[in-house]
Amino acid sequence: MDYINQLIFPPSEGHLLVARFLLVVTLVVHFAYIGFAVGASMISLFLNVVDRDTPNANLRRFAKYLIDLGMVHRGLVFFVGIVPIPVVALLYAQNMYQTSELTALAFVVALPLVVAGFCLLFRYKASWGLREKSFLLHLAPGVLGLGVLTVAYFIILSGVSLSMDPEKWPFITNPYNFFMFSWNNMIRFLRFPIMAFAVTGSAVLFFYFNWPEGEKLEDEQYSRFVRYVGGGLTLGACAVLPVFVVWNLITLPNVALSLSLYGTCIILVALLACAAGKAFGALVSPARTPGAGIFITILVTLALLNVADSIAHENAISDHTSVLLSAAQTAKLEREAKREAAAPAKGSVAEGEQVFKKVCATCHRFDRKVVGPPYDQTLPQYVGHQDQLEAFIRQPSKKNPEYPPMPQLGLRSGEVQSVAMYLLQTYQNGAGKKK
């Protein structure tokens, strides 16, 4: 997978921050839509089949309404259903630069499946006229499309779970291992349809009752039906989701946990309570038209779910992120050093004295041992070899086992030259005086 690594620069701090922000935003938008598309297709197909057994105009009408709403427009599906997948793949590759490309790979592998799934669902939507003639030809693309999307999201969600579990990365050496069973992966997969029902239920309540086509509301019996299905789905999903939130917290690897993750989950459950209360209200008070409140609450909950996942991911890779950042820092320093080398810095004894006082004097004196050995012992070998002294200061190596190793000082090359000049000059002057 080297090509992904080559595509992506060693990230700088700003770079990573932007990548993370984009990742959360893209995932939220994508999962909000996908949740709705999958939920709407599932319920549409289900009601469609039920209607076949026990014909009921409401069921039929609602099944068509759902799929029309879910696959509302090809352009929209393209931009929120398909485009985010390669974008997210790139962002994960960026975040996990040089660790594991499995998560990014999962999104890439799932991409053609998602495209195929949507094509099939559009076919299902378009074949409504075929329903009476050949029910099977009408239903099959829908079922197949949903099946393909299910497989695609199993792969994607496995990849997302894996991004929070660095311990497993080295052991995934073939595609079969990728699907290694883990409870955490399982909950993320089972949570997906539940979240899809919540989004679908609340979206139906919102779109049906607030979309500017007032005439729909005239059919009171149908409106009541829509209200029950929408409210019921939302309430049910809100009631089940907290179990998954807790289960997720229990099964996440320890590295992915942090106090802020628990805090986010508490807010998340409080929001779910809020949405559940509202959905219950919509079910039991038929006089009031459901507004946008439930839908917005559910969307915010979904966003928080993604934020929680993202916090877990960042906890899991935080040490690696620091490594990346310091690599970027080093690369920047190297670039600066090259620029300096192109226009050689002139060291000065005065600057050398400053550096000595600020840095070296912590551990060294000329005439006595502090942490490091006295200069009067170590400098004689460098008289006339200033370049060797500079090389040692730049890249200290252990010389005398009686002392702790000298640290890397991170001086600029001009400073190294200055301090070497200062040390040799001071030493020779001092030596001269003693004689």
Rule CB under 8 A: which residues touch another protein?
166-167, 170-171, 173, 239, 242-243, 245-246, 249-250, 253-255, 257-259, 262-263, 265-266, 269-270, 272-273, 276-277, 280, 284, 319-320, 322-323, 326, 362-363, 370-371, 396, 403-405, 407-408, 410
In angstroms, give the least distance from the CB of 152 to ligand HEC.
33
CB 201 within 8 A of CB 279: yes
Closer of 79 and 183 to another protein (Cβ): 183
**407 in contact with ligand HEC (CB under 6 A):** yes
In whole angstroms, what is the distance from residue 285 CA to residue 295 CA? 17
Pick between residue 87 and residue 325 the one whose CB is nearest to another protein. Answer: 325
Beta carbon of residue 166, minimum distance to another protein (angstroms, whole number): 7
Quote the CA–CA distance of 20 and 385 in Å, as a whole number: 50
> Closer to ligand HEC at the Cβ: 112 or 404?
404
Site string for ligand HEC, 387-406 (x = CB under 6 A): -----------------x--
Residue 370 contacts which entry, ligand HEC, another protein, none (Cβ below 5-8 A, type-dependent): another protein
Residue 405: CB minimum distance to ligand HEC, A:
6
Q: Which does 299 bind (CB under 5 to 8 A by kind): ligand HEC, another protein, none?
A: none
Residue 239 binds which entry of ligand HEC, another protein, none, with Cβ cut-offs from 5 to 8 Å by kind? Answer: another protein
**In this structure, what DSSP letter does residue 321 have?**
H
Q: Is 147 in the site for ligand HEC (CB under 6 A)?
A: no
Q: Which two tokens stand for residue 80?
A: 């929120």
Q: How many helices and strands, by DSSP H and E, does the chain display?
A: 16, 0
- The SS3 of residue 181 is coil
Q: How far apart are CA 344 and CA 358, in angstroms?
A: 23
- SS3 category, 374: coil
Query: From the CB of 418, what's the least distance to ligand HEC, in Å?
Result: 20
Q: CA–CA separation, 128 vs 143, rounded Å?
A: 14
Between 319 and 387, name the residue whose CB sits nearer to ligand HEC.
Answer: 319
CA separation for the pair 281, 113 (Å, rounded): 39
Structure tokens at 170: 């080295």
Angle between helices 413-434 and 349-358 (to 10 degrees): 90
CB of 327 to ligand HEC, least distance (A): 16
Closer to another protein at the Cβ: 362 or 429? Answer: 362
Please report, for residues 298, 367, 408, the alpha-carbon distance to residue 363 in angstroms, rounded to integers and kept in the order given: 61, 12, 13
The strand pairing partners of 364, in sequence order, are 369
Q: Report how far residue 138's alpha carbon sits from residue 124's, in angstroms, rounded to the nearest whole number.
A: 6
| 189, 153 Cβ separation under 8 angstroms | yes
Q: Compare residues 108 and 360 and give the one whose CB is closer to ligand HEC.
A: 360
CB of 136 to another protein, least distance (A): 42
- For residue 410, state whether it binds ligand HEC (rule: CB under 6 A): no
In the DSSP assignment, the letter for residue 254 is G
Q: How far is the CB of 283 from ligand HEC (least distance, A)?
A: 46
Output the smallest distance, CB 409 to ligand HEC, in A. Answer: 9
Alpha-carbon span 173 to 247, nearest angstrom: 28
Indicate which of ligand HEC, another protein, none lies near residue 280 (CB less than 5 to 8 Å, by partner kind).
Answer: another protein
CA distance linking residue 283 with residue 276, whole number of Å:
11
By residue count, the chain amounts to 435
16 interacts with, out of ligand HEC, another protein, none, CB within 5 to 8 A per kind: none
For helices 220-251 and 183-210, angle between their N-to-C axes, nearest 10 degrees: 160
Which one of ligand HEC, another protein, none interacts with residue 266, CB within 5 to 8 A by kind?
A: another protein
Total number of residues that touch ligand HEC (CB under 6 A): 2
What residue ranges bind ligand HEC (CB under 6 A)? 404, 407
